[in-house]
Amino acid sequence: MTPRHRDAIRRLSHDVPGLWHAPPTTAKDRQEIVRLLLERVTVDGQGESEQVAVTRPWAGGCKSAHRLIRPVGRYAQLSTYPVLLSRLDTLREAGLSFAQIAVARNRDGFAPPKRTQRFTGGMVVRLLSHRGLQGSRPRSMGESSGLQVHEYWLTDLARRLTMPCATLDKWQRLGWGHSRKVEVSGGRWAIWADDDA
């Protein structure tokens, strides 16, 4: 290697970004540069959550650390899941529609799982239904007239027991509890449950 070549290498070593972005630099050249500069890359996934810590020790003793977000398959895997549910309940109690809740979730920086970038009203509905909750009902369905002592509308009892409506509905259809059809528009099922429920 001639002294001229050594000087050129020294100059390039002081301007790695210039070397990296230079038109003659190929993808293979960039891989070689990374191999020379990085000692190793350590990736540490935080349990099953979307949080990933990446540590990179560089040649010469410097170290850089970054946090990345990886896609996960379920809401429960999100590190923000408890906060997400709490905020969701607060927004429901405030009377926001599903679409308005989705807008608020996106504005607050929450992201759903499965490589999806933004919440939609339909996603909010599905998230609530998985928890056994529903949105607010029309006024005619919210009235308790027609109920007797210790009776609840199926959806209200499911909320009180924090269980999916579908499960309670199945139990009612199988006769695993006391229920009766109430003569209201469309017909509704009243479920009996004492104070221990």
- 42-56: string of b/e by CB count within 10 Å (b at 16+)? eeeeeeebbbeeeeb
* pLDDT tens profile 56-114: 999 888 999 999 988 898 888 989 888 888 888 888 888 888 889 999 989 988 888 88
Beta strands at 51-57 and 179-182: parallel, antiparallel or unpaired: unpaired
d(CA 10, CA 12): 5
> Does position 50 have pLDDT exceeding 60, yes or no?
yes
- DSSP type of residue 137: P
Low-confidence winner among 11-20, 32-41, 149-158, 182-191 (lowest mean pLDDT): 182-191
DSSP-based three-state secondary structure for 41: coil
| pTM for the whole structure | 0.50
Longest Cα pair distance anywhere in the chain, in angstroms? 99
Closest residue by Cα to residue 56 from 47, 68, 48:
68
Domain boundaries of the chain, sorted by first residue:
3-69, 75-130, 146-192
